[in-house]
């Protein structure tokens, strides 16, 4: 549920871990989407599963998350441009590539591991770490064209639907959306979905306010009761109750993804 606008994941590890880039081999493969097709540019979502006891368990979870991705607007509109990858690593590799830290997001990832993934997928990507034993979910507040980290603690969710919605919430952060809750930890207001006041909100989404009466100026966002959000509920506010991102967030995501895929 947390997002920080910092590049937290490029924390180098010391000692022998830098002596060898490929101490352990790992595999990265595309995960087949039935509606996928050709697109000149790609947005890679790279999944890695840690603390899983068997392959079938993480394949089941990947199926759940991929299905949610394909059926959530506007991501489902870009199945030719969004490519899902799955990395298979051993328990030994888990210990080498990922380390717990004392600071947010409480994990660091080996820099050479991140660089190697960028080489494999030919550019920026979102690294989605699904931790079977974890109870924390968080993500870097980022943009579509930047490498960023998404962490999903599988153990915190009561059922598959909560798990899938929690993943979409964190993915929203990695594309630039802020928390829309008033009781969460305080963060900075910012475009597109958390305005510091109503006048600013009117500039950002005023044209959408008449859209079926759903979009308006609602108090409470980024942990501040005086900030303004565009809808009463969305996946960026309460993913346990909301089913979608809401009109304002969907337009932002759609525009961002379209512009990126169309760029040279």
Q: How far apart are CA 103 and CA 100, in angstroms?
A: 9
Q: How far apart are CA 59 and CA 248, in angstroms?
A: 33
Q: Please list the residues that pair with 99 across neighbouring strands.
A: 108
Q: Which residues contact 8 (CB under 8 A, 6 or more apart)?
A: 103, 104, 105, 108, 140, 149
Q: Which residues contact 242 (CB under 8 A, 6 or more apart)?
A: 165, 233, 234, 235
10 compared with 114, residue with greater pLDDT: 114
- DSSP alpha helices (H): ranges in the chain? 55-71, 91-97, 111-121, 160-174, 198-205, 247-262
* Residues 200/202/208/209 CA torsion (nearest 10 deg): 130
Unique residue bearing structure tokens 């979905």: 193
Q: In the numeric block, which tokens belong to residue 239?
A: 């993913």
DSSP string covering 196-227 = SSHHHHHHHHGGGTTSTTT---EEEETTEEEE
Span 44-102, pLDDT tens digits = 999 999 999 888 999 999 999 999 999 999 999 998 899 999 999 888 888 889 988 87
CB 85 within 8 A of CB 30: yes
Give residue 234's pLDDT: 96
CB 152 within 8 A of CB 166: yes
18 has pLDDT over 50: no
Q: How far apart are CA 162 and CA 158, in angstroms?
A: 7
Q: Residue 169 — very low, low, confident or very high, per pLDDT cuts 50/70/90? A: very high
pTM exceeding the 0.85 threshold for the entire prediction: yes
DSSP single-letter state for residue 177: P
115 has pLDDT over 80: yes
Q: How far apart are CA 140 and CA 147, in angstroms?
A: 9
Q: Which domains does the chain have, with CATH numbers?
A: 2-179 (3.40.390)
Q: How far apart are CA 30 and CA 36, in angstroms?
A: 11
Span 135-168, pLDDT tens digits = 999 999 999 999 999 999 999 999 999 999 999 9
CB 192 within 8 A of CB 204: yes
Unique residue bearing structure tokens 């961002």: 256
| Arithmetic mean of pLDDT over the chain | 87
Residue 216 has phi, psi (to 5 degrees) of -160, -150
Q: In the numeric block, which tokens belong to residue 6?
A: 């910092």
């Amino acid at each position: 549920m947390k997002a920080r606008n910092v590049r937290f994941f490029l924390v180098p590890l010391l000692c022998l871990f830098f002596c060898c880039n490929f101490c352990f081999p790992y595999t990265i493969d595309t995960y087949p989407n039935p509606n996928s097709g050709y697109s000149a540019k790609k947005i890679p979502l790279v999944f890695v599963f840690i603390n899983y006891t068997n392959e079938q368990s993480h394949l089941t979870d990947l199926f759940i998350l991929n299905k949610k991705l394909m059926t959530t607007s506007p991501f489902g509109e870009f199945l030719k441009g969004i490519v899902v990858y799955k990395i298979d690593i051993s328990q030994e590799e888990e210990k080498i590539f990922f380390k717990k830290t004392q600071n947010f997001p409480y994990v660091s990832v080996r820099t050479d591991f991140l660089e190697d993934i960028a080489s494999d997928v030919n550019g920026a990507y979102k690294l989605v770490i699904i931790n079977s034993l974890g109870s924390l979910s968080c993500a870097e507040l980022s943009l579509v064209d930047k490498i960023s980290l998404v962490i999903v603690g599988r153990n915190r969710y009561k059922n598959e639907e909560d798990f899938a919605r929690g993943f979409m919430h964190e993915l929203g952060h990695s594309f630039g959306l802020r928390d829309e809750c008033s009781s969460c930890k305080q963060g900075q207001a910012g475009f597109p979905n958390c305005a510091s006041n109503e006048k600013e909100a009117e500039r950002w989404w005023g044209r959408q306010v008449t859209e079926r009466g759903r979009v308006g100026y609602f108090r409470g966002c980024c942990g501040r009761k005086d900030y303004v959000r565009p809808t009463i509920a969305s996946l960026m506010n309460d993913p346990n109750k909301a089913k979608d991102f809401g009109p304002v967030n969907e337009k932002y995501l759609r525009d961002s993804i379209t512009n990126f895929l169309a760029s040279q």
